[in-house]
Structure 1
Amino acid sequence: MIDPAAIDFEKGNGLVPVVVQDAATLQVLTLAYMDRAALDETIQSGEATFFSRSRGGRWRKGETSGDRLRVVSITPDCDGDALVLAVDPVGNACHLNRTSCFGAADAPGLGRIARLEQTIAERAAADPSESWTAKLVAQGPKRIAQKVGEEGVETALAGVAGPDEELAGEAADLIYHLLVLLHVRNMVFQDVLDVLASRAEAGKGPKTRA
Structure 2
Amino acid sequence: MKLKLEEIELKYNDAGLIPAIVQDYRTREVLMMAWMNKDALQRTLATKKATFWSRSRGELWVKGETSGNIQQVVSLDYDCDGDTLLLQVLPAGPACHTGHTSCFYRNLMTDDAANKGNITILHDLAAQIKARRKNPVEGSYTNYLFREGVDKICKKIGEESAETIIAAKNNDPEELRYEASDLLYHLAVLLNNQGVTYDELFEVLTKRHTNKRKREY
- Calculate the TM-score normalised by the size of structure 2: 0.67
What is aligned with 1:137? 146
Secondary structure of 1:145's match?
Answer: helix
2: CA distance, partners of 1:100 / 1:176: 29
1:34 corresponds, among 33, 36, 42, to 36
2:87 corresponds, among 71, 80, 84, to 84
- Identity score, percent: 31
2: CA distance, partners of 1:15 / 1:9: 14
- The answer to whether the Cα contact below 8 Å between 2:167 and 2:179 also exists between their aligned partners in 1 is yes
2: CA distance, partners of 1:39 / 1:204: 35
2: CA distance, partners of 1:85 / 1:199: 22
Secondary structure of 1:12's match?
Answer: coil
2: CA distance, partners of 1:74 / 1:33: 18
1:203 corresponds, among 201, 204, 213, to 213
Aligned pairs, how many?
198
- The answer to whether the Cα contact below 8 Å between 1:18 and 1:85 also exists between their aligned partners in 2 is no
- Map 1:95-110 to 2 at 5 A: 99=102, 101=104, 104=107, 109-110=118-119
1: CA distance, partners of 2:92 / 2:170: 43
Gaps of 5+ in 2: none
The 1:83/1:16 distance shift into structure 2, 3 A limit, reads farther
- The answer to whether the Cα contact below 8 Å between 1:25 and 1:112 also exists between their aligned partners in 2 is no
- The answer to whether the Cα contact below 8 Å between 1:128 and 1:135 also exists between their aligned partners in 2 is no
Paired AA for residue 143 in structure 2: A
Secondary structure of 1:127's match?
Answer: coil
What do you get for the CA RMSD once the two structures are aligned?
4.2
1: CA distance, partners of 2:27 / 2:138: 29
Asked if 1:24 is matched to 2:26, the reply is yes
2: CA distance, partners of 1:102 / 1:129: 30
What is aligned with 1:187? 196
2: CA distance, partners of 1:191 / 1:98: 22
- Calculate the TM-score normalised by the size of structure 1: 0.68
The 1:72/1:137 distance shift into structure 2, 3 A limit, reads farther
The 1:92/1:76 distance shift into structure 2, 3 A limit, reads closer
- The answer to whether the Cα contact below 8 Å between 2:63 and 2:70 also exists between their aligned partners in 1 is no
Asked if 1:156 is matched to 2:172, the reply is no
2: CA distance, partners of 1:130 / 1:38: 51
The 1:25/1:94 distance shift into structure 2, 3 A limit, reads farther
**CA shift for structure 1 position 37:** 5.4
Q: Deviations over 1:71-100 (max 9, x none)?
A: 1325333799834141437457497x6846
**CA shift for structure 1 position 174:** 0.6
1: CA distance, partners of 2:141 / 2:202: 26
